[in-house]
């Protein structure tokens, strides 16, 4: 699933390509992509609307139109392209926006898990978007805030970092990378980590995300940006996807474990658990 750096990369490219254009019409070919309202009303709400800005919140793309907010979540493999109508479409193109510039904004999704909502001013935001926690780069987010929020929590650090209600936009790749950079084991109980250490973790989260954004995200599987280009950060990954390979810091073997049902990559030497791990993890203190 695209995470914050990939979605931000798509956002920046789409902003360059379509901001200021006008949606003349929309063809919805797979109705379940549209969650709200009905597909026919979705089309009516978007027709003849100017694309004022393309923004991002967590892993959501937000197309700010005049009077309507188009909320799009790429899920596993959703992908936007901007093309001339004469250009061949990607396979599994499910939604096509015809633009006043003569181009088309196309949405393709092999897995068909992506979603779109067209929200009028005054309507409630989609539940997932409305429940998002602060952005990782929010200057108000600090170790003391997380320490207060997580005090007494036995849930593993990684579990809470993946919870979009805690911090928006983080996913498997960048949580693994940030925890490694901070020297924290993913199974460390969140409530046992002090504010100063959480400040270090936030610093590393921000640094990893910033580097990934500069490189256009990570094309670990099928991600491509708004221009169809692969990301470049995957060649800089320290632990994610490197099971059995040497740790770039100590040379020991990277291990893969399960945390919150997700494959998790860790260097046991560089990321020791300083307090007891939650029961049932198979990892000792």
Dump pLDDT digits (tens) for 83-103: 999 999 999 999 999 999 999
Is 211 annotated as belonging to a binding site?
A: no
Domain boundaries, the chain: 4-130, 143-266
**177 is a catalytic site residue:** no
CA-CA distance, 168 to 132, in Å (whole number)? 6
Closest CA to 231 of 207, 247, 215: 215
Tokens of 199: 């400040």
- The residue annotated as part of the active site, out of 98, 229, 249, 262, is 262
pLDDT at 221: 52
> What would the mean pLDDT of 36-40 be, rounded to a whole number?
98
Is 153 annotated as belonging to a binding site?
A: yes
**131 is a catalytic site residue:** no
CA-CA distance, 119 to 71, in Å (whole number)? 8
Is 111 annotated as belonging to a binding site?
A: yes
- The residue annotated as part of the active site, out of 11, 45, 49, 59, is 59
To the nearest whole number, what is the mean pLDDT of the chain?
91
Please compute Rg for the chain using Cα positions: 20
The answer on pLDDT for 276 being more than 60 is no
The answer on pLDDT for 16 being more than 80 is yes
pLDDT at 236: 77
215 confidence band (pLDDT: 50, 70, 90): confident
**262 is a catalytic site residue:** yes
**What proportion of the chain, given as a percentage, has pLDDT over 90?**
85
The answer on pLDDT for 79 being more than 50 is yes
The answer on pLDDT for 176 being more than 70 is yes
Spatial CB neighbours of 115, under 8 Å, sequence gap ≥ 6 = 33, 34, 35, 71, 72, 73, 75, 126
pLDDT at 76: 87
> What would the mean pLDDT of 48-71 be, rounded to a whole number?
98
pLDDT at 273: 84
The answer on pLDDT for 285 being more than 60 is no
Is this prediction's pTM over 0.85? yes
The answer on pLDDT for 227 being more than 80 is no
The CATH architecture one would assign to domain 4-130 is Alpha-Beta Barrel (3.20)
The answer regarding whether domain 143-266 maps to CATH 3.90.850.10 reads no
CA-CA distance, 144 to 135, in Å (whole number)? 16
**What proportion of the chain, given as a percentage, has pLDDT over 70?**
89
Are the folds of 4-130 and 143-266 the same?
Answer: no
The answer on pLDDT for 219 being more than 80 is no
**3 is a catalytic site residue:** yes
H-helix segments, the chain? 4-18, 39-46, 127-130, 143-150, 157-162, 172-182, 195-214
Quickly list DSSP for 191-253.
GGS-HHHHHHHHHHHHHHHHHHHHTT---SSS---TTSPPPSGGGG-SSTT-TTSBPTTT-PB
CB 5 within 8 A of CB 174: yes
């Amino acid at each position: 699933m695209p995470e914050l750096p990939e979605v931000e990369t798509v956002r920046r490219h789409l902003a360059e390509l379509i901001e200021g254009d006008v949606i003349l019409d929309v063809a919805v070919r797979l109705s379940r992509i549209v969650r709200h309202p009905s597909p026919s009303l979705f089309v009516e709400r978007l027709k003849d609307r100017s694309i004022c800005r393309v923004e991002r919140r967590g892993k959501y793309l937000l197309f700010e139109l005049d009077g309507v907010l188009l909320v799009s979540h790429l899920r596993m493999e959703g992908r936007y392209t901007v093309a001339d109508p004469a250009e061949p479409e990607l396979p599994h193109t499910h939604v096509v926006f015809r633009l006043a510039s003569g181009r088309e904004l196309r949405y393709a999704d092999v897995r068909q898990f992506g979603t779109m909502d067209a929200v009028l001013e005054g309507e409630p935001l989609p539940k997932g978007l409305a429940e998002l926690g602060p952005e990782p780069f929010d200057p108000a987010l600090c170790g003391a805030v997380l320490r207060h929020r997580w005090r007494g929590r036995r849930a593993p650090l990684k579990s809470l970092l993946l919870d979009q209600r805690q911090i928006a936009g983080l996913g498997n790749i960048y949580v693994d990378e940030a925890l490694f950079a901070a020297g924290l084991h993913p199974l460390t109980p969140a409530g046992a980590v002090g504010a100063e250490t959480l400040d270090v973790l936030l610093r590393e989260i921000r640094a990893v995300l910033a580097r990934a954004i500069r490189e256009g995200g990570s094309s670990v599987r099928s991600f491509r940006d708004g221009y169809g280009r692969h990301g470049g950060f995957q060649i800089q990954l320290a632990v994610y996807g490197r099971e059995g390979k040497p740790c770039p810091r100590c040379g020991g073997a990277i291990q893969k474990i399960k945390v919150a049902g997700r494959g998790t990559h860790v260097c046991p030497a560089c990321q020791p658990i300083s307090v007891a791990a939650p029961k049932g993890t198979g990892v000792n203190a």
